[in-house]
Chain A
Amino acid sequence: MRKLDFLQTAWVVRLAWVLIAAVLAAPAHAHSLKLFARVADGQIDGYAFFVGSGRPSGADWFATMGDQPVAEGKTGSDGSYGFAIPAPVLADIVVTVDVGDGHIASTQIKAQRLRGGAPAKQGPDAFALDRYGNSPGETSTGIRQTASLPRLNAADQQAIEEAVQRQLGPLLERLEIMDARMRLTDLMAGVFLIIGLAGIGLWARQRKR
């Protein structure tokens, strides 16, 4: 059997370092770019950000509705972007920011959210929410009742939607950041769980001897 000389040992150490760096760095970079989107005042706007460290400026962004491109541009100095909601909304809108070097992040905005929660079609199947967010004939406790509450008109409903969006904006942003951090934490937890299991296995075998 061939013995390792000093040069070969150095190569093994170098390879180990490269592998460790790749394992630790790849997922961090792959998931560190996040995209935040907000719907308000007939606009979709938001910004891209790196988890824990700044925002990309001058990065390419584009938006598609189904397969159709609806807007594109470059992010501002604060990583921001924005465009008017296309009319009519036929499908979910996907906003993508490409910073380069494989750092791409996308976010999907549901068509229903863009329509302001208004019914997608009118007619026998159409529904509307009352002022408590329930469907007609349903109370806030989920109990159906026969006498429905008066419906809101479209303008009121739109105003409420926009107000809710403004309130929810910071919360959604915070959720995005927490989601990205938790993913990295879970990843590291998994790796160290495996190492821990190996340690337990070795300890158990040692005890048997």
Chain B
Amino acid sequence: MHTFIDFRMSALPMAHIPDGLLSVPVLAGGALVAAVGVAIALRKLDDRAIPRMAILSATFFVASLISVPMGPSSIHLLLGGLMGLVLGVGIFPAVLVALLLQAVLFGFGGLTTLGVNTTNIALPGAVFGVLLGPLIRQTDSAWRAGLLAGTGAACCVLATGSLVALSLWLSAPEFAPVARVLLLTYLPLAFADGAIAGVAVNFLVRVKPQTLMPYLSSSVRQASKV
């Protein structure tokens, strides 16, 4: 069993869980949550949201391909907090498309685990965007907004790590040691992701605060055109 676990750890790149590792109920549950998230996002889709989703999806696609070895696993940027803040529930289709292309082009993750991986990365970001987004947007100080966003983004990374660990543990209790080690590798990433989100939000609040609004009301849209 140890050999099997060791092999799986070396084949486990961060949040991209490969095929053949998770149980059917976990796969189905993850796919269901992802499908609901994508459906909600598509219902709220407008012309402004599409290019924003594409830009952040492309950024996530590239950033999460650059892996840094960390113990038995490897870490890469997730950007879930920043995406959740900027896109709201639109993070679901953005992450789904990027993960699909990574699976097809590079073999990162898997096709059967697409739903679970999307949920693990997008759900914390979406929850963070919906719950803390309004508070960050209302904050007058750019520094305070950056600090809040950075802290939230770091929490998103840890939440993603917890969901990955939970997915593995629910599929097979033998993966518990693997899940614990993986969770530890998320700690340095939480700092990196939080710092990037903090700096980006600090900058955006000062130069273009509308960027942090996933959806604009018609009055705001009119005002921004003037």
Interfacial chain B residues near A187, Cβ < 8 Å: 62, 65, 105
Contacts of A195 in B (CB 8 A): 54, 58
Q: How far is B47's CA from A14's CA once the two chains are assembled, in angstroms?
A: 25
Task: Write out the residue numbers on chain B whose beta carbons fall within 8 Å of the beta carbon of A194.
Answer: 54, 57-58, 61, 97-98, 101
Contact A15 B61 (CB under 8 A): no
A73 within 8 A of B: no
Task: Count contacts on B: residues with CB < 8 A to the other chain.
Answer: 30
Q: Is the CB of B223 within 8 A of A23?
A: no
Judge if A189 is at the interface, Cβ distance under 8 Å. Answer: yes
With A4-B207, A27-B66 already in contact, the answer to whether A190 and B101 are too (CB < 8 A) is yes
**What distance in Å separates the Cβ of B106 from its nearest Cβ neighbour in chain A?**
6
Question: With the chains together, A158 CA to B98 CA distance in Å?
Answer: 47
Bound together, the chains give a CA A49 to CA B203 distance in angstroms of 38
| A120 at the B interface (CB under 8 A) | no
| Chain B residues whose CB sits within 8 angstroms of the CB of A2 once the complex forms | 209
A201 to chain B: which residues have CB within 8 Å?
45, 50
| Interface flag for B102 (CB, 8 Å) | yes
Query: Known: A186-B105, A195-B54, A198-B53. Is A12-B62 also a contact (CB below 8 A)?
Result: no
Shortest distance between the CB of B120 and any CB in chain A (Å): 20
Mask, B17-53, CB within 8 Å of A = 1, is: 0000000000000000000000000000101001101
Asked if B171 is at the interface of the complex by the 8 Å CB criterion, the answer is: no
Q: Are B207 and A12 in contact (CB under 8 A)?
A: yes
| B61, A26: Cβ atoms closer than 8 Å | no
Contact (A27, B62) CB under 8 Å given A8-B208, A12-B208: yes
What chain B residues lie within 8 Å of A30 (beta carbons)?
66
Residues of chain B from 194 to 226 with CB closer than 8 A to chain A in the complex? 203, 206-210, 220, 223-224, 226
Which chain B residues in 42-82 approach chain A with CB under 8 Å? 45, 47, 50-51, 53-54, 57-59, 61-63, 65-66
Q: Does A154 contact B (CB under 8 A)?
A: no
Neighbouring A residues of B62 by C-beta, 8 Å: 23, 26-27, 187, 190-191
Closest to A185 in B: B105
Identify the closest chain B residue to A8 (Cβ): B207
**C-alpha gap A189/B106 in the complex (Å):** 11
Give Cα distance in the complex from A189 to B62, angstroms. Answer: 11
Q: Which residues of B contact A15 (CB under 8 A)?
A: 203, 207
Question: A202 contacts B208, CB within 8 Å?
Answer: no
A190-B105 in contact given A8-B208, A12-B208, A198-B51 (Cβ < 8 Å) = yes
Residues in A with CB closer than 8 Å to B208 are 4, 8, 12
In Å, the complex CA distance between A68 and B57 comes to 42
Closest A residue to B210 using CB positions: A1
Complex Cα–Cα for A180 and B98 (A) = 21
* CB neighbours of A4 from chain B (8 A): 207-208
Q: Which residues of A contact B66 (CB under 8 A)?
A: 26-27, 30
Interface check A159, CB cutoff 8 A? no
Closest 8 CB pairs of A and B: A198-B54, A190-B101, A186-B105, A1-B223, A8-B207, A194-B58, A191-B58, A201-B50
The 19 listed contacts between A and B (C-beta, < 8 Å) are: A12-B208, A15-B207, A27-B65, A27-B66, A30-B66, A186-B106, A187-B65, A190-B62, A190-B98, A190-B102, A193-B101, A194-B97, A194-B98, A194-B101, A195-B54, A198-B50, A198-B51, A202-B51, A205-B47
